[in-house]
Each structure stands twice: as C-alpha cells, then as structure tokens.
C-alpha cells in the first residue's frame, strides 16, 4: 500500500482497474483472447512506426545545425524559404554560439553557427580545416525597460562598462543623467540582464567592453561566456529580450533585430569618432565598411570600436561553421549549395530583418572559400 504512493498518481488508479478486472475475470474465467489481440495489434503499430521511420530517412535531405541565437530570425526565415524552394530541410536550433561551437566540435550537427569566432584551440580540437563562412553582420544594442523613458538614451563606452561592472547602480547616476539631460531618469536600481548561456552576442559585447575599458579587460575578459560581476541571466537573445521586456528598470544587450521586432527601447552608443550613433542597418554597414580592408582570410574579426564617423561601434559577423572536408558527400553538397544560396539569394531577406548584407567584394571572396570545400578530396562545387 505504502509503496504505491511513491508514484502518487498511477498506482491507486491502476490498482482499482486491476481489482475490477480481477473480479470480472473471476466470473468469466478467462478473457485473455481479446487482450492478446490488443497486444498483437499494438506490436504491429510499433513495428510499422519503426519501419516507416527507417524508410522515410532516404527521401529528404535534412541538415542539422545549431548555435547562435543572434541570426535565428534570419535563419528560420531562410529555413522556411529554402525548404519550399529546394526541398532541403535546414533544421536550425538556436542554442547559443557556445553550443554551436561545442556541438560542431563534437560533430553532433552538420554545421555550427556562431558570432564569436572559434579559438585556435577549438579549431585544433575540431580537427581538419574549419571554415568560418560569414552570413551577415549585425549590431548588438543596449536595450532597456524604463517606465516613462523613451527611445534613444545615450551611453558612452565607459558608462556601459561601469554599469556592467556593477560600479554604476542607479538609473539617475550623475554620469548617466549628464549624458541624458532631457530624460526623466528614475532613482531605481539598474537591473543588468546578460546571457546565461554561451553566446556570440556576449562575445561581441564583451570584446567591445574589453576594448574600451581596461578594468573590464582585467577583471572579466572576453569569451562566449564570462563570469559576470552583476545581473540576471537569460537564455539566448530571446531570453534576454524576454526578461528585459517583462522586468522594469532592466538594461541588457541583444541583437538589433530582436530589439526592433519586439519594439523595445534601446540606446545610442558613442563611437570612436565621438559621435552618439543609433544602431541601424546603415550604421551597422558602416561599421563593417570601416573594417572591410582588414578582414582576414579566415573572416575571424569583430567590428567593435571601428573607425568611421557614422559607424555604430558594437557589431560583428555571424558565421556558419563547416569542415573544409565533408565526410558525407550528399550532405556536404546540400550544405555547400545552401551556403551558396545564402550568400546570394538569401541576402535579400537580411535587410528586412535588420541584418547588414555582405558587400559585393566580400561575397566574391566567400565564393572562393566555398569552392574550396571538398568531399573525399574532390571539390564539391565545380
């Protein structure tokens, strides 16, 4: 009796049914025939499911990818369109850039996605040649939820760093109110919201903070996940945006697309040239342009604190990570063709979702990179 309670729900219920059965069967002797039938039928159904499952595998190509949440709105759009146009399913799970890199190394996915580049150590772990294929560029913006305060608070690099270091704790701190004389800043605590998962958005954000604040660089450093001095953690860009939207007095950072599609309030950041720049599609493109000439062959670069009068200072590429040598020829071909589509036809979906498309000159470079992808030593694209 007591033992039954370990499962709370099932036992008492099932026990009753058994008793009922017991009594009924007592009179009728045996009614097992019907039960055998039922069991047999169940068996058939299960078998059918398994057989069906095996059979369906051959028909469509599915590419599994995981990683960055930053480009998720774009990738999910691509995934939808590409499945309709080419019949190839791109199953992309936005688990964070850290996760994308990790699962790519563990080869549990066909491609990884990240907006923080892999370190040399990680590339060595992955084995073979790893390609970072840039897809689009995006901006990371400070979003806030302050009742009574509208769009466009001004932030300077040092103020942002000090807020995220926990050194500025009130919204009406003099250093903040001096930047925003017109805003009616409340005397409440600033609730910092950051990512709880490994994130390329974080990587871009802390890369920027490290560039502008020596103290940040010394105390916290860079990476896809860091040891945050203060704040709340949200999972993914989605999680941070959700937390900020639902909690008053918060300040977080998300990709520009998340801020705009969710109608969130976000601030301007002072760039290297001393201008307060509002994050937009064009100021992100300017940031990329500022860095265009210095983009290395492996495309591993952030557009943080770039030159240029109108450049928004916190931006970066988002990459898809692939192996230069594809073990599976069919999947490899499907993957490279998808990437080819993404850097050409796919780019037209970028501006509507507020990602900066790749400039022409860069597309030509990426084309060459894609052509270098091989399967069993043979180039996949002729």
Please report, as residue ranges, which positions from 91 to 150 form the binding site for another protein (by CB under 8 A). Answer: 91-93, 95-103, 105-109, 122
In whole angstroms, give the CA distance from residue 175 to residue 152.
16
Residue 41 backbone phi and psi in degrees, to 5: -60, -45
Options 239-247, 272-280, 336-344, 363-371: segment touching another protein (CB under 8 A): 239-247
Options 7-15, 307-315, 318-326, 333-341: segment touching another protein (CB under 8 A): 7-15
Options 150-158, 219-227, 272-280, 363-371: segment touching another protein (CB under 8 A): 219-227
Options 144-152, 232-240, 284-292, 318-326: segment touching another protein (CB under 8 A): 232-240
In whole angstroms, give the CA distance from residue 356 to residue 286.
9
Min CB(69)–another protein separation in Å: 10
What one-character-per-residue DSSP string does 96-142 give? -HHHHHHHHHTT-SSEEEESSPPPHHHHHHH-S-EEEEEEEEEEEEE
Verify binding: residue 8, another protein, rule CB under 8 A: yes
Residue 113 backbone phi and psi in degrees, to 5: -145, 140
In whole angstroms, give the CA distance from residue 315 to residue 33.
70
Is the distance from CB of 240 to CB of 252 less than 8 angstroms? yes
Considering only residues 152, 167, 186, 223, which one is a binding residue for another protein as defined by CB under 8 A?
A: 223
Binding mask 44-83 for another protein (x = CB under 8 A): --x--xx-xxx-xx----x-x-x-----xx--xx-xx--x
Min CB(129)–another protein separation in Å: 19
Binding mask 339-378 for another protein (x = CB under 8 A): ----------------------------------------
Residue 165 backbone phi and psi in degrees, to 5: -85, -10
What are the Cα distances from residue 68, in Å, to 150, 164, 243, 345?
Answer: 29, 22, 18, 21
Residues 6+ apart with CB under 8 A from 234: 193, 194, 195, 196, 240, 241, 242, 243, 244, 252
Min CB(116)–another protein separation in Å: 10
Q: Is the C-alpha dihedral spanning 353, 356, 360, 361 positive or negative?
A: negative
Q: Using CB under 8 A, which residues numbered 250 to 269 contact another protein?
A: 258, 261-262, 264
Q: Is the C-alpha dihedral spanning 197, 201, 205, 206 positive or negative?
A: positive
Considering only residues 231, 290, 308, 332, which one is a binding residue for another protein as defined by CB under 8 A?
A: 231
CB closer to another protein, 224 vs 268: 224
**Cα Rg, the chain, nearest whole Å:** 27
Min CB(214)–another protein separation in Å: 17
Residues 6+ apart with CB under 8 A from 217: 209, 210, 211
Pairing label, strands 62-67, 89-94: parallel
CB closer to another protein, 17 vs 181: 17
Q: Using CB under 8 A, which residues numbered 174 to 193 contact another protein?
A: 188-189, 191
Binding mask 11-30 for another protein (x = CB under 8 A): xxxxxxxxxxxxxxxx---x
CB closer to another protein, 288 vs 334: 334
Binding mask 267-296 for another protein (x = CB under 8 A): ------------------------------
Q: How many residues bind another protein (CB under 8 A)?
A: 100
């Amino acid at each position: 009796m007591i033992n039954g309670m370990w499962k709370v729900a099932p036992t008492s219920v099932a026990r009753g049914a058994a008793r009922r059965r017991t009594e009924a069967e007592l009179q009728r002797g045996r009614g097992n025939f019907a039960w055998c039938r039922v069991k047999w039928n169940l068996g058939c159904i299960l078998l059918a499911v398994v057989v069906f499952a095996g059979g369906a595998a051959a028909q469509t190509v599915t590419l599994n990818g995981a990683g960055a949440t930053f480009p998720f709105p774009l990738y999910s759009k691509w995934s939808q369109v590409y499945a309709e146009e080419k019949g190839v399913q791109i199953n992309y799970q936005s688990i964070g850039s850290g996760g994308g890199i990790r699962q790519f190394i563990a080869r549990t996915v066909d491609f990884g996605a990240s907006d923080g580049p892999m370190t040399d150590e990680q590339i060595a772990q992955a084995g073979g040649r790893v390609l970072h294929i840039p897809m689009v560029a995006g901006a990371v913006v400070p979003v806030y939820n302050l009742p009574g305060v509208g769009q466009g608070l001004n932030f300077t690099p040092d103020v942002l760093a000090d807020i995220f270091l926990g050194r500025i704790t009130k919204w009406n701190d003099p250093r903040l109110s001096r930047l925003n004389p017109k805003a009616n800043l409340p005397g409440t605590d600033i609730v910092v919201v950051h990512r709880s998962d490994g994130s390329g958005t974080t990587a871009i954000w802390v890369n920027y903070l490290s560039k502008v604040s020596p103290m940040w660089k010394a105390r916290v450093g860079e990476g896809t996940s860091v040891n945050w001095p203060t704040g709340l953690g949200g999972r993914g860009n989605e999680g941070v945006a959700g937390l900020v939207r639902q909690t008053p007095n918060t300040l977080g950072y998300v990709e520009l697309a998340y801020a705009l599609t969710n109608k969130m309030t976000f601030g301007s950041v002072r760039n290297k040239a001393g201008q307060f720049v509002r994050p937009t599609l064009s100021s992100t493109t300017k940031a990329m342009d500022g860095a265009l000439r210095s983009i290395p062959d492996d495309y591993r670069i952030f557009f943080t604190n770039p030159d240029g009068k109108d450049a928004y200072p916190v931006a970066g590429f988002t990459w898809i990570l692939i192996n230069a040598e594809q073990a599976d020829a069919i999947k490899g071909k499907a993957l490279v063709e998808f990437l080819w589509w993404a850097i050409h036809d796919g780019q037209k979906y970028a501006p509507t979702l507020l990602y900066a498309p790749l400039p022409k000159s860069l597309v030509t470079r990426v084309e060459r990179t894609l052509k270098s992808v091989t399967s069993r030593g043979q180039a996949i694209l002729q």
